Amino acid sequence: MSIVALDVDAVRARFSALRGAAALFDAPGGTQTPDSVIEAIAGYLRESNANLGGAFAASRRTDALLERSRLAAARFLGCEPVEAFFGANMTTINFALTRTLGRTLRAGDEVLVTKLDHDGNISPWLELAHDLELEVGFVELLDDTALDYDDLEDKLTERTRVVAFPLASNAVGTLTDARRIVELAHDAGALAWADAVHFGPHGPIDVADLGVDVLLCSPYKFFGPHLGLAFVRAEVSAPWRTYKVRPAEHRFETGTLAHELLAGFVAAVEYVEEIGWPAIQSHERALGQRFLDGLPGGVTLHGLPTMDGRVPTFAFSVDGFAPRSVAEQLAEREIAVWEGDYYAVEVMQRLGLGTDGAVRAGFVHYNTAAEVDRLLGELAKLEPPAGF
């Protein structure tokens, strides 16, 4: 990857949320939003707050906003505007979509998910399997948290209808070879159903290039508001009977959208386009490598030990400390990290980490090298809690 310079100070100046003393490594649970996103949301509510389809000015502005939102979604995902749609969040959309697809499935049909997945791309299938007597299989991980593609190939059968998988693990940062998964799924006559939530802030998504049939993501993970976004390939979904009210404009949208959040979504896409993926990815890779190179003794990384094949999201344990204790001590030093399983239940079980899970720190392009050094320094100075 060629190195493209990022003016991180100029980036941070666009985020009011970054003006405090805290070092925010909580982006895997949701990124901060630039001021332009906040202003777009507030501007809509001040000037255009109305429902669709009216003859008056505010309603016409809302109609135009919805059109801009679909165009922005199409640019972000690499699809046609009609193939993109919005909902409350990825998981809610996925429950709705899986039930729509369920109308085409029969008892004994199979769905494959992976042990790298967030539960938002597992539980909808488990619940559908409960309702329809489907079979759900789990694709294994290798010891380094890479997906076991041989196991995937072995588990595909003539009854496999869907292969559901993540583009990147929200727990350990591992990337998958999406094109390989899609090819295997399609060769078996199955749909390729991708969760791009965690990958969203880290690199460009092009559904046409990937070849996926369904892809879901969350704008609040790529500098936008709390919202869900999805793509369904038009020719795949054409025969599906969707759950909707009859007059609804889009066949996958069940009711009135949060129009103010669509305004924020458009601003978020425009922000990412202004910064550019090459600069984002170069900066993030440098931050991730700095973290890996500086890990102090007593810290065990769970996942790939280099920046190859991953995004800069790191799960780790500290000898002698429960994950919650690490997070609490870092919080006292104004460093935000997560602890637990982050809804990545299968990953944590595969790693033998149980319900306590691990500590998770995630970097995005608005983080700095100085913040990474601060995190590393504080990890080295942690004090064991009473009783150890």
pLDDT digits (tens, 9 = 90+) for 187-197: 999 999 999 99
Whether residue 82 contacts residue 106, with contact meaning beta carbons closer than 8 Å, is answered with no
Residue 2 lies in a domain: no
3-state secondary structure at position 217: strand
List, for residues 201-225, the tens digit of each pLDDT value: 999 999 999 999 999 999 999 999 9
Question: Is 109 among the domain residues?
Answer: yes
Same-domain check for residues 266 and 286: no
Please tell me whether residues 290 and 255 are part of one structural domain: no
Is the confidence at residue 248, as pLDDT, over 90? no
- pLDDT for the residue numbered 29: 98
What local confidence, expressed as pLDDT, does residue 244 receive? 84
Kindly state whether residue 119 falls inside one of the protein's structural domains. yes
Its pTM stands at 0.96
CA 171 to centroid of chain Cα atoms: 11
The reported pLDDT for the residue numbered 108 is: 98
Q: Which of 238, 273, 308 is the last residue in one of the domains?
A: 273
User: Would strands 160-166 and 110-114 be described as parallel, antiparallel, or unpaired?
Assistant: parallel
- Classify residue 388 by its DSSP letter: -
Q: Residues 112, 211: one domain? A: yes
Q: Do 88 and 185 belong to one domain? A: yes
Please identify which residue in the block is written with the tokens 């009854």. 159
> Per-residue pLDDT for 289 more than 80?
yes
pLDDT band at 76 (very low <50, low <70, confident <90, very high): very high
Res. 255 pLDDT band, cuts 50 70 90: confident
- When the pLDDT of each residue in the chain is averaged and rounded to a whole number, the result is 96
pLDDT of residue 216: 98
In a domain, 387, yes or no: no
* Residues making up the chain, counted from first to last: 388
362 lies in a domain? yes
Res. 388: pLDDT tops 70 = no
Cα(321)–Cα(282) distance, integer angstroms: 33
Query: Count of H helices and E strands in the chain?
Result: 14, 13
In tens, the pLDDT along 43-61 reads 999 999 999 999 999 999 9
Q: Are residues 148 and 248 in the same domain?
A: yes
pLDDT digits (tens, 9 = 90+) for 340-384: 999 999 999 999 998 899 999 999 999 999 999 999 999 999 977
How far is residue 47's CA from residue 194's CA, in Å, rounded to a whole number? Answer: 37
Q: What is the largest CA-CA distance in the chain?
A: 69
Q: Check if the beta carbon of residue 33 is closer than 8 Å to that of residue 264.
A: yes
Residue 246: the pLDDT is 82
Domain check: are 162 and 175 in the same one?
Answer: yes
* Domain co-membership, 201 together with 319: no
Domain that holds residue 143: 37-273
pLDDT at 327: 98
Question: Quick one: 301 and 248 in the same domain?
Answer: no
Q: Are residues 217 and 354 in the same domain?
A: no
pLDDT tens per residue across span 115-161: 999 999 999 999 999 999 999 999 999 999 999 999 999 999 999 99
Confidence of residue 326 (pLDDT cuts 50, 70, 90): very high
> Token pair of 83, please?
């193939």
pLDDT range class, residue 30, cuts 50, 70, 90 = very high
Amino acid at site 386: A
Whether 53 and 140 map to the same domain: the answer is yes
Give the amino acid at 7: D
**Number of domains present in the structure of the chain:** 2
CATH of residue 20's domain is 3.90.1150.10
Structure-block tokens of residue 239: 């025969």
Question: Are residues 97 and 202 part of one domain?
Answer: yes
Dist CA 285 CA 271 (whole Å)? 20
